[in-house]
Structure 1
Amino acid sequence: MNVQSTANKAFSRRGFLGLTAAAVSAPLLAACGGGSASQGGGGAGGSIKFWDMPWATPAYNDAAKKIAEGFSGANTKASYQLIQWNNFYQTFSSAIASKTGPAVSTGGGFQAFQFEEQGQIAYADKVIEKLKANGQFDDFLPGVLEPFKTDKGYVAVPWQLDMRPLWYRKSLLEKAGVDVPTDWASLLEAGKALKNVGAFGFVTGSGAGNNIGNHTMMLMMINNGGGVFTPNGELDVMNDRNVEAVEFMLELVSNGIIDPAAVSYTTDNLDTQWKDGKAAFGPYVLGLPERVGDTSGDIMVASPIAGPHGDKTALVFPNNIMMYTNTPSQEASEEFVVYYLGKLKELWQQKLMNALPVFKSITEIPEFSSDPNNMKIINEYVPIAKTFASQGTALSADLAALDGGQALNQFTQTVLTGKTDAKSALTAFESGLKSVLKK
């Protein structure tokens, strides 16, 4: 869900060093809209100051502003401020340091963990208690809360999910005479057949501002039971499953199944490939058919594929709402978060969100459930999805250094050029991560 006037000018909303898909009429990666951090700390005149990001088209922010300003809990009102994705971490950091920051905000997916380390985050345990009391807690989709729980408490509360589903164009597969890939072996064979009809069987890109390539590399490692971290959060780049995944990616490159120009492709380029019938299969953002203007039913979500050892998973980024210690009233901050979560359904009812909701009840409303691609993702992807923390589950500030950082980007580009071997690429990747991670 990164939004900007051009899709190749991205800034990761999950990490500070470097996505959820934007609403279909908006581009993919960074932000549009206005606003700057200028109000008093926590809230002007004792109100709860809520900072939000351009998660979709301007209509989203108009609706979110209306919801926020409708709050009147704990004898307190709320104000709404739109913050640009461009340089957003600096905006938050400067405001928090000067005590002019928000009481509550959305933002980068790992943002709360970084500010937690600075003692600036208010834990959300009482919010969770309130959600249990009003029945909302049981409405969460399975597994979405756990990544935010630490030994000290809940660092934030999820409100939407950014998934990387696999998409395919049915007519291209039929033209090539192949079925939808179900595992790596059939992906390779389908890719070879698709090449013969002028299509690419695994579509990705790693050009300026395009994180899809990075996500693809992480997805393939995770899909093979690998990942960058151990279950305990220690760095584990060189494990055999990662090596095997990179070897497979290099095989796709060497066979021309991945476009040789993918290393320079922006999201505009990827959109064009899908629109022009050159893209047959690959991971991308939600709402791809609407994004490229083809709602004929030819572009569809594929089921998650299995790795060579039978592993089957998906890549997800859980976006969240966080509270800060600088607030006119911690009770009011908590009441606002509970209130706002309870109003989220309105955003999906108005079809302003091209992201997955975290509440089961929202997945059941007709505005969401009428799209079979949405329901396939909810039913098949969400239950098996993992984050960048894999092989572990707990999110941390370290993930901001991984997501969209130079080490991952250089690793991806090296693999997409095909001018390397798996162990050399992973060794360089590991070295780059060690230089920025605390562990």
Structure 2
Amino acid sequence: MNVQSAANRSFSRRGFLGLTAAAASVPLLAACGGGSATQGGGGGAGGTIKFWDMPWATPAYNDAAKKIAEGFSGANSKASYQIIQWNNFYQTFSSAIASKTGPAVSTGGGFQAFQFEQQGQIAYADKVIEALKKNGQFDDFLPGVVEPFKSDKGYVAVPWQLDIRPLWYRKSLFEKAGVEVPTDWSSLLEAGKKLKAAGSVGFATGSGAGNNMGNHLMIMMMLNNGGGVFSKEGELDVLNDRNVEAMEFMLELVSNGIVDPAAVSYTTDNLDAQWKDGKAAFGMYVLGVPERVGDTSGDIAVASPLAGPHGDKASLIFPNNIMMYTNTPSQEASEAFLVYYLGQLKELWRQKLMNALPVFKSITELPEFSSDPNNVKIVKEYQPIGKTFAAQGTSLNANLAALDGGQALNQFSQTILTGKTDAKSALQAFESGLKSVLKK
């Protein structure tokens, strides 16, 4: 598959949603109340379930997903399949839901379900979870992937794939510099100095147009030090000591030239080129970097997670999800469709159409997935320590759309990457920017 194309879309879909939330504080659906779980049709089964999906990968993915969706025939219902492009996707959903022409079930932006939940448009998935427990599929979920979607009112959505940020390294560059792959922050600093002296980039990243890797790196380093943007209770907690310490370390990497001085302007194409051309020795990136840059020789491999100075280990993870809407011809049919669709997901990985981690253990054991040792390592070492943008808390919410891809985070990342700041000043400006867009 065209991994680069798919991954670029993964950056833009969240970035756009974040900008939308930041600029408009989540558009309201005028004259469109929450309604009941069977708005637009009776309470019994029947009718056609409209399933809207996104171009998560190449067209072959959508062809396969369409075949799966249209194979549904439960609850005296059938399903239709429609592709929604990432460009302006939030407006597409918002307008359709307001006019009651939207989907009954959909994939979409990572925090989309929580935004529409605030407007009373999401049908909770508790009965789907109950059905998965009864058929044994709930026990097949990887640890911790379902819990972030549980609110005090119910499950807002159900996860179906994971977008994760592992650390990668190029073996030959470490051999050339005569250093071991780092295992903690201090060894990263020392290895980075020697890699730089050998002409390599010791910690590759980028924060240019359309590239969220710099943003994600800043959050990941906070998480890797036991910090995070929010408290365990969900309150803004940007200036905690662990975040300050993490950003002081990032500034040390920048001041030593371990981070490329031009990284602040690097697009994903620039970052890809550094990995492809043998310049990048180490860095956080997406799943499937060797395939993405066209080097499957084995020289690019996943490194084990770093330990922070206090022993913390964490990876940044985005659990993409499937959501149900209150406007449906039949809530029973929506639920039956979602249970059915989740049961068929293995086909997408069996056909090697997904550049993402599956949420089910059984799919990670498929030979089409487990034949890649990098995949196995990510599932074993990174997924169990995965934390979301909600950390230090665990529950997702609508405010996260304004954080991820929003201007406050982007400006903060660029400030750190230029090195022309101190950690507390940068974090104070970041906190101020977030306060102006987050809902109270």
Q: TM-score higher than 0.5 here?
A: yes
Residue pairs, 1:109-258, within 5 angstroms? 109-258=110-259
Q: Residue type of the partner of 2:232?
A: P
Q: Residue type of the partner of 2:17?
A: F
1:377 aligns with 2:378: yes
Contact 1:8 1:267 in 2 (8 A): no
State, as a whole percentage, how many aligned pairs show the same letter.
83
Instruction: For residues 237-282 of structure 1, give each alpha carbon's deviation from its aligned partner in whole angstroms, at most 9, with x where no partner exists.
Output: 0001101111111111111100000001000000000000000000
Instruction: For residues 32-58 of structure 1, give each alpha carbon's deviation from its aligned partner in whole angstroms, at most 9, with x where no partner exists.
Output: xxxxxxxxx79xx93000000011111
Q: Residue type of the partner of 2:60?
A: A
Distance in 1, Cα, partners of 2:204 & 2:100: 45
1:411 aligns with 2:408: no
Q: Which residue of 2 aligns with 1:278?
A: 279
Closer/same/farther in 2, CA of residues 113 and 417 from structure 1, 3 Å limit: same
Contact 1:14 1:108 in 2 (8 A): no
Task: Return 5+ residue gaps in structure 1 as ranges.
Answer: 19-40
Secondary structure of the 1:74 match is coil
Distance in 2, Cα, partners of 1:329 & 1:359: 27
Q: Which residue of 2 aligns with 1:31?
A: none
Distance in 1, Cα, partners of 2:271 & 2:279: 9
Contact 1:3 1:55 in 2 (8 A): no
Instruction: State the Cα distance separating 1:13 from its structure 2 match.
Output: 3.4
Q: Residue type of the partner of 2:267?
A: T
Secondary structure of the 1:16 match is helix
Residue pairs, 1:271-310, within 5 angstroms? 271-310=272-311
Q: Which residue of 1 aligns with 2:401?
A: 400
Distance in 1, Cα, partners of 2:429 & 2:203: 24
1:318 aligns with 2:311: no
Q: Which residue of 1 aligns with 2:358?
A: 357
Contact 2:9 2:86 in 1 (8 A): no
Contact 1:368 1:374 in 2 (8 A): yes
Distance in 2, Cα, partners of 1:215 & 1:17: 13
Contact 1:15 1:401 in 2 (8 A): no
Distance in 1, Cα, partners of 2:225 & 2:16: 24
Instruction: For residues 367-418 of structure 1, give each alpha carbon's deviation from its aligned partner in whole angstroms, at most 9, with x where no partner exists.
Output: 0011100000000011111000010100000111100000000000011111
* Greater length-normalized contact order (CA 8 Å, ≥ 6 residues apart): 2
Q: Which residue of 1 aligns with 2:23?
A: none
Instruction: State the Cα distance separating 1:196 from its structure 2 match.
Output: 1.1
Report runs of 4+ in structure 1 exceeding 6 Å deviation: none
Instruction: State the Cα distance separating 1:5 from its structure 2 match.
Output: 8.9
Instruction: State the Cα distance separating 1:3 from its structure 2 match.
Output: 7.3
Contact 1:204 1:262 in 2 (8 A): yes
Contact 2:3 2:292 in 1 (8 A): no
Secondary structure of the 1:321 match is strand
Q: Which residue of 2 aligns with 1:334?
A: 335
Distance in 2, Cα, partners of 1:380 & 1:3: 24
Contact 1:167 1:283 in 2 (8 A): yes
Secondary structure of the 2:290 match is helix
Instruction: State the Cα distance separating 1:6 from its structure 2 match.
Output: 9.9
Q: Which residue of 1 aligns with 2:88?
A: 87
Distance in 1, Cα, partners of 2:131 & 2:147: 17
Q: How well do the aligned residues superpose, as a CA RMSD in angstroms?
A: 1.9
Contact 1:15 1:400 in 2 (8 A): no
Instruction: State the Cα distance separating 1:171 from its structure 2 match.
Output: 0.4
Q: Which residue of 2 aligns with 1:52?
A: 53
For normalisation by structure 2, the TM-score amounts to 0.92
Instruction: For residues 317-367 of structure 1, give each alpha carbon's deviation from its aligned partner in whole angstroms, at most 9, with x where no partner exists.
Output: 000000000000000000000000000000000000010000000011100
Closer/same/farther in 2, CA of residues 308 and 222 from structure 1, 3 Å limit: same
1:67 aligns with 2:68: yes
Contact 1:92 1:101 in 2 (8 A): yes
Q: Residue type of the partner of 1:414?
A: T
For normalisation by structure 1, the TM-score amounts to 0.92
Instruction: For residues 125-157 of structure 1, give each alpha carbon's deviation from its aligned partner in whole angstroms, at most 9, with x where no partner exists.
Output: 000011111110111011100000111100000
